[in-house]
A = this chain, B = another copy of it.
Amino acid sequence: MLKPIIWDDEKGELILIDQRKLPHNLEYFICKTYEDVAYAIKDMVVRGAPAIGISAAYGLALAEIKGENIYRAYNTLKNTRPTAVNLFWALDRCLKAYEKGKKILDEAKKIHNEDIEICKNIGIIGEKLINDGDTVLTHCNAGALATSAYGTALSVIRFAHYNGKDILVIIDETRPRLQGAKLTAFELEYEKIPYRIITDNSAGFLMQKGEIDKIIVGADRILRDGTVYNKIGTYSLAVLANYHNIPFYVAAPISTLDFYSDEKDIKIEERSEKEVLYIDNVRIAPKNAKAYNYAFDKTPPELITGIITEKGIFKPNEISKIVNI
């Protein structure tokens, strides 16, 4: 099983798979300080909402181990990326533990171990939605690499495969960072689950041809009305799925829910236009070209068939019931 996040207890170091180097090289990035972790999140050595949360928790633990100012470390880590809520959730949980006199490292390990169980449950619960013979489209990477293990959307796909269902996965390449073509393809190759990569442009045409049975994506933040923030392109897929009557599912742990924010509070991260203008350090656009590079988009609840969590599958407008479970 691919594990993007490893805590080395002996050395007191956080070891991350360097996802910038995939799919060609499986290299590791060692974090000895919270600043290393902040850099790793910002530069997308580690990415994916749950994985960012776990890494940030270990980052805060590193500050504690080194006897540094926890609040400064908290702020630095908090300001690495603005959209995924798990980052703030994990940091707040660790800070609360710290203020109660607990060891941050223990809390980080707890978050990490819980996430493995959560992802497993998402897969076990969600795989019931997949039929033998289905072709399932996924976007970006909501896989083991985006979490502690198994993934969210890919956990559903993994468990369908583990249970002997014959499925084909269509992977959107997911420009600009190509997490689909690079990371999701790497994971499915690793697990020997059949897949085909398509350009993001091709999804609508495959739906029109009747070749997509279901769509499953992850989430970076879910509001109480069921609005989902996720990787740019998710919204387009949801509109296309709606037009073609294809079920559109979001798979995410409960830590992705944000019941305190409204749409106006959410900042959609704009990343460097270089991510669009260059691909793997090769300039594709003219010398003076400019680009827009929104990293996420917003999908309204009416376009979502169901949200798959570790506590069950919910209609988007019923997701707020989860607090009573």
Interface string of A182-203 (1 = CB under 8 A from B): 1001100100000111111111
Question: Taking chain A's interface residues, is the majority helix, strand, or loop, or is none over half, making it mixed?
Answer: mixed
A320 within 8 A of B: no
Interface string of A234-278 (1 = CB under 8 A from B): 011001101100000000000000000000000000000000110
A290 to B169, CA, bound (A): 11
How far in angstroms is the closest Cβ of chain B from A277? 7
Interface string of A295-306 (1 = CB under 8 A from B): 001100000000
A323 within 8 A of B: no
Which of B279, B287, B298 is within 8 Å of A282, CB to CB?
B279
Closest to A281 in B: B282
Can you list 30 A-B pairs, Cβ within 8 angstroms, ordered by A? A24-B283, A170-B292, A173-B285, A174-B201, A175-B199, A175-B201, A178-B284, A181-B276, A181-B277, A182-B285, A182-B286, A185-B289, A189-B288, A195-B289, A197-B290, A198-B292, A202-B232, A202-B292, A202-B294, A202-B297, A205-B297, A205-B298, A208-B235, A236-B240, A239-B240, A239-B243, A240-B240, A243-B243, A279-B282, A282-B282
